[in-house]
Amino acid sequence: MRSKLLSLATAVPEFELRTEDVIVEAQKIFGGRHDDFERMLPVYANSEIKTRYSTCSYDWFRQEQGWPERSEAFLVGASKMFAEVSTLALQRAGLEAGQVDTIVMISSTGIATPTIEARVMSELGFRDDVKRVPVFGLGCAGGVAGVSLAARLAMAQPGSNVLVVVIELCTLTFRADEISKSNIVATALFGDGAAAAVLSTTGKNAHGEIEFMGEHTWPDTVDIMGWRMDPQGFGAIFSRSIPELTLRNLRPAADGFLAGNNLSFADIGAYSFHPGGAKVIAALEMAFTLEAGKLANERKILAGFGNMSAPTVLFVLEQGLTENFSGRRFISALGPGFTAGFITMLQ
C-alpha cells in the first residue's frame, strides 16, 4: 500500500519583482548606507533570475521593519496564500475542505502561534476535528520533507486525505541594515511562493505513487544554512560552500538512499530537484552526470520565480508532471541541518 499524489498546486503573491527593478531598489536601499555595496552588485545580475514575487510592495521594503512588522506581514500574507493554494489543490483532487482528515503545514520564514492553518481553517470549511501538524525549521528541504510526512500519515490511516501546504515568504526576511554577503545573496535570490498537495491511499486519477522516502543529515554542518535571530528579525545564514557540498556529498548520500531500497540511478527516469541557485543547478548536473537540458524545469522555475525555499521543488515537480513520462522520478531538496530529503515516485 502506497500513498498517491492526488493533486499538486502552486501559487505566488501579487507583487512581481523583476531583477532589473530589484537592482535599482537595492542601490537605493544599500548604496547610501554601505560603501562596498557596489562590489557585491553583480550578485543580482549573475543569479540567472528574471522575476520573483513578493507578498509586500517595494514601499514596504523602503521602510524600517522590525519583528512586529515582519510578523504581521507574515500572518496576513501566509493566511492569504494558504487559502489560495489549498483551495486549488483540493479542487484538483475533487475534494471539499471538509473531506480533509489531516493538514500538514510547512514554513520557516515566519513564526505564528496559533499557526496559519488554525487561523484560517474554519472560514475555509475544514472540520473542527481535522488533525493539524505544523512544522517549522526545515527551510529549503521542507517541500520534500512535507510531502514525505504527508505520505506517511496517509499510510498510517488508510483511506484518509492528507493536505500538505508549504508556504515561504522569504522576502520578509530582507534586511536593509545588513551588508553581509549572506544578506545580499538572499535579497538577490529569494522570493515568495506556496504549494499544496493532497495525498491518500485511495483516489482516482492520481499523478503517481510515493514509493520510498528518506533523509540524510551531515554532521558538523549546522552553520551552512539557516537563520539567526536578532531584534530586527531573521538574519540569513547562507554559506558559499553550498554548491561545493552539493557536488561533493549529495550523490553518495543519494546512492545510499537508493541502495537501501534496492535501487540505483539506472532505475531513475526523471528528476525534480530544488534549484537553490544557478551554481547549485550546475553542481547537480555534475554530481548526477546529467546531460544538457535534463534540469530544464529547474532552470525555468529559478528564472521565473527565484528560490522560494521549501515550495520551489514542488513548482519543479508540477512542471515535470505536465510532461509525457511514465516511470520512476527522483525528487530531492537540500536544506538546513545540513539535510537532504529524497523521494522516489512512480508515475
Residue 101 contacts residue 157 (beta carbons within 8 Å): yes
Is the pLDDT higher at 220 or at 274? 274
Which residue pairs, CB below 8 angstroms and at least 24 apart, start in 116-125? 116/75, 116/78, 116/79, 116/82, 116/165, 116/167, 117/82, 117/165, 119/75, 119/79, 120/79, 120/82, 120/83, 121/97, 123/83, 124/83, 124/86, 124/87, 124/97, 125/96, 125/97, 125/98
pLDDT of amino acid 239: 65
Question: What CATH number has the domain spanning 208-346?
Answer: 3.40.47.10
Residues 88-107: what's their mean pLDDT? 98
The pLDDT tens digits of the residues spanning 313-331 come to 999 999 999 999 999 999 9
The pLDDT tens digits of the residues spanning 231-287 come to 777 777 666 667 777 778 899 999 999 999 999 999 999 999 999 889 899 999 999
The pLDDT tens digits of the residues spanning 129-162 come to 999 999 999 999 999 999 999 999 999 999 999 9
Q: What is the C-alpha end-to-end distance of the chain, expressed in Å?
A: 15
> Structural domain boundaries of the chain?
3-200, 208-346
Identify whether 56 is a catalytic site residue. no
- Phi, psi at residue 329, to the nearest 5°? -105, 140
Question: Do the domains at 3-200 and 208-346 have one common CATH topology?
Answer: yes
pLDDT of amino acid 185: 78
- In angstroms, the CA 176 to CA 19 distance is 17
Residues 83-90: what's their mean pLDDT? 98
Helix (H, G, I), strand (E, B) or coil at 120: helix
**Per annotation, catalytic residue among 83, 95, 104, 140:** 140
How sure is the predictor about 63, in pLDDT bands with cuts at 50, 70 and 90? Answer: confident
pLDDT of amino acid 241: 65
CATH architecture for residues 3-200? 3-Layer(aba) Sandwich (3.40)
Is the pLDDT higher at 8 or at 336? 8
